[in-house]
Structure 1
């Protein structure tokens, strides 16, 4: 591709490479990710420096991967023989194109989509953007094939201007960000190997996933010096079934589930109060009972999980808070069920049956401890379960595993088990009290000031990238108790969501987000704003790199 790029400006190089990358589907969990990795590798091989130094490009196969996916690594060593290294990373995969509906056949054709939005009845804003010629449409145009193209353009630039490179640059193009983060988790092991074998000293990692307006008319370009984290608090709710003719003696798990949704879902009192930061409340991602077919038995068990962003709070604190909320919610529902049954019996002038209205609330760790205290070999049950279960969705697998464990409880009673399911993304932000943190912050502030004066853009520096990012996996902070709160309450974490926790803790790589800009990520109207993303951003990233290395 170099022959097509060499006479172009940086802007035009990025536009051409973005169109090229968008044209190749690379949906999460498909062979397209591996094919796109090969496309990226061939682009880099075409650059003159790497034609002469092919050993500086290599691939990392994802072990035991059904689709034979791989990460691409590219090292551009500084002529200064330094160990200081800045990482630039981007993810290869995109979400699918089902949302494009009848125009799905052109979802990977930016020019065809542009004509479509110019000609069809669409919103005024969409029509203005299409008519302006300043936006590129297409699946992945924003998230994040344009980000890959920006990194590739800067890789080409520095490979041709080595005299400007004061430190090493390590580029990572990884798979599977949109689903299980398999690519970056594998990359952590490779980063640790390079640190140990080559002595690389990682100063910072720069991700350029997308940003978008936070409100109508927002023109600010946000620069993020950290990442919001995420947990998936999950609730296995086992009630007590009954025939529908005796439904008032049942403990209906769906009532408890609904009360938990009312108390946790979208509750602003649960968000962390951080001035100037976009902080999101918990949101429901799944709620259902566990019945597979029709019958006249009330549900025995229900499943519920939430998306829960974390910023400064520890997982241990959040789990304690959720357990308290669960105890209060279940107590209210049990009180209501008991009162309703008693009132019914009085109205019908019939004696009450002896009904046990107790329900137990416990974390997964406490549940396992209780089983083992009763002589249940939980490790054997878990091993046996995984030898028989190949469910693709790891969250459903976790619920099925708990269901299996509950079945082995010799004293089964109604209970709610609070646990964590995949994914888990650690939260972190720049440690500005440390020398390296101060250095990075200063470089970003200098760059923002210079670029604002040069371009007229308005920049704002924020602590937490509000969307999820592969950068979350490049460090791990917190006490051992905090880490234990995750691992011990995450059923079969080593199988369902393996994480290189030891390497993450040892690497402690600061992660910042200097992002392409656009609108409607993950929607069929997805589009990237070319003037900023192709013109300003590559220069901004270079400036941050050069300011950091000059310190």
Structure 2
């Protein structure tokens, strides 16, 4: 059986596992991959070279799988092949849900669903296979496993080949977040020099007419600003005597939603503008009293903007929103007094905006046991199966409630998940060598397969490449202080990431329609071309 057939067979096995993110079924996939590795002769002889590691503190008890093949010639140079084995759910498959994880049967029956012109064309070509996880991204894991199998047989290279398969990418990247400190531990213990990493995600065409594939030199970052607005309660019969936090949060949304001023830019790449993911007040039961708290959090993508600059811009926006609301209330109050002929006492409010870091410092200075108090609260919220975002909101609310200078304000913070943006540039010898290898591999693809591959600056779909290390010029202390729950409910390994900084790319097969029922994988390119290009990279770096 040749390499392409082996990859196809392994892909079929992996797709058949319903490893939906955020469920215990993810563990089925990690066990399967571990068993595939344990059956290989190399790992039967080298049992310390592979294993499963628990995602610390994970209530689903998920694990990531790792394996190292050492070349015949010793060297510290180590190339990482990595990807995620979790997938999104299959509700959109409708009556085909039962075959969504059977790529052969799904391909046979997918035309029973409404397919667009491009999907129908691909189906009729016979070159594409459909099913959940085919493209996103079990094909990448299958390629990695079979290359590990192949290289473990002859070990005809210099250095080390490290395979890493992680869960949770489709949720909060819990697997790769947990793997970063493990990679650092290996680096320190084994003196590994991580000379590169390939995230095996598929190339995604931007139009049906494209005649080239993509290789991504970086990955877009993601940060989630949270605004917790505190108002002043009042009776519904006297609305102009208080301050409704819903007015504050609504004005923030009016300014920030789809605002291109918050679209980041690098070279010719521009991120989509921010979008609100949730906006709600925190009043639990009905009453005729106005709410005290309202919150909104946003999806905001970054390419080069620093978190410090972003926080400054968000504070300015919050001040603007606060002033707008107060001015609007003032005008409406004056119009009401004129219309009713009645004057009345009302609360005098001044705009107040604080970062979570500023608020936390003030609260901690007066409450020495506050950190332990919050830790106990977080454990309760975890037992109630609250998500990271809800826990973060609760933490900010609890922090404000311990603040002795209570008044209307807007508290600005960042909440999980946080994905640092990352871009591969020739800034040092290691990066330059990896980039040269990529360029030579692109030339090789054209010469041998007549495949045109272009280098794209950023993979825009969010990826685990973000956790292959950060530039050490980032302000880790400032960032960690404003990420709510950092070190308590959200174990983001910022220090480990700052010590790694592995040169990395996103490069895999070709896939379309991620997270849709028409998800599909281009077999000829993925099975016949990409594995040989991986081999070219491996031999170039580990020679």
TM-score interval, smaller chain:
over 0.9
Deviation (angstroms), 1:12? 2.1
Cα 1:162–1:111 change in 2 (3 A) is same
Specify the alignment match of 2:19 in structure 1: 26
State the 1:169 CA deviation. Answer: 0.3
Figure out how many residues of one structure are paired with residues of the other and give that number: 541
Q: Which residue matches 1:368?
A: 360
Q: For residues 94 and 341 of structure 1, do their structure 2 counterparts lie closer, same or farther at Cα, with a shift above 3 Å needed?
A: same
State how far apart, in whole Å, the 2-side matches of 1:385 and 1:72 are. Answer: 32
1:453–1:248 CA distance, 2 compared to 1 (3 A): farther
Q: Distance in 2 between matches of 1:381 and 1:359?
A: 30
Given that 1:288 and 1:302 are in contact with CA atoms closer than 8 Å, whether structure 2 keeps it comes out as yes
Distance 1:506 1:264 in 2: 34
Alignment of 1:6-17 (within 5 A): 7=1, 9-17=2-10
- Tell whether the 8 Å contact from 2:136 to 2:511 is kept in structure 1 after alignment: no
Instruction: Check 1:11–1:380 CA distance in 2 against 1; reply closer, same or farther (3 A cut).
Output: closer
Instruction: Give ranges in structure 1 of 5+ residues lacking alignment.
Output: 1-6
5+ long unaligned stretches in structure 2: none
Q: Distance in 1 between matches of 2:453 and 2:243?
A: 54
Tell me which moved more, 131-140 or 272-281: 272-281
Q: 1:308 to 1:46 in 2, by over 3 A?
A: same
Partner residue in 1 for 2:102: 109
Q: Report if the CA contact (8 A) 2:388-2:489 is conserved.
A: yes
CA drift at 1:380: 4.8
Q: How does 1:165-180 map to 2 (within 5 A)?
A: 165-180=157-172
**Residue in 2 that maps onto 1:445:** 439
1:400 counterpart residue number: 394
**Correspondence 1:484 to 2:477:** yes
Distance 1:217 1:327 in 2: 47
Structure 1 residues 55 and 408, CA gap change in structure 2 (3 angstroms): closer
Work out the CA distance in 2 between the residues paired with 1:201 and 1:468. Answer: 26
> Could you say what secondary structure the match of 2:89 adopts?
coil
What's the counterpart of residue 309 of structure 1? 301
Q: 1:395 to 1:118 in 2, by over 3 A?
A: closer
Q: Which SS does the other structure have where 1:488 is aligned?
A: helix
Partner deviation per Cα, 1:222-271 (whole Å, 9 max, x = no partner) = 21222222211111111223222222333222222222223222222222
Q: What SS class does the counterpart of residue 332 from structure 1 fall into?
A: helix
Task: Give deviations 1:467-508, integer Å, cap 9, x for gaps.
Answer: 22222122122436x212211112231012112222222222
Q: Is 2:465 the partner of 1:471?
A: yes
1:455 aligns with 2:454: no
1:55-454 alignment to 2 at 5 Å? 55-163=48-156, 165-277=157-269, 279-372=271-364, 378-386=370-378, 388-390=380-382, 391=384, 392-454=386-448
- Show CA shifts across 1:321-346 (max 9, x none): 11111111221121111111111111
Partner of 1:496, secondary structure, is: coil
Output one character per residue of 1:396-419: Cα deviation in whole Å (capped at 9) or x when no partner: 111112222222333321111001
TM-score by length of 1: 0.93
**Cα distance, 1:117 vs structure 2:** 2.2
CA contact (8 A) 2:264 2:270 kept: no
Deviation string 1:181-236 (CA, Å, 9 cap, x unpaired) is 22222222222222222222111111111331224533432212222222111111
Equivalent residue number for residue 44 of structure 1: 37
Give the Cα–Cα distance (whole angstroms) in 1 for the partners of residues 273 and 500 of structure 2. 30
Moved over 6 A (4+): none
What RMSD over aligned residues (CA atoms) do the two structures have, in Å?
Answer: 2.1
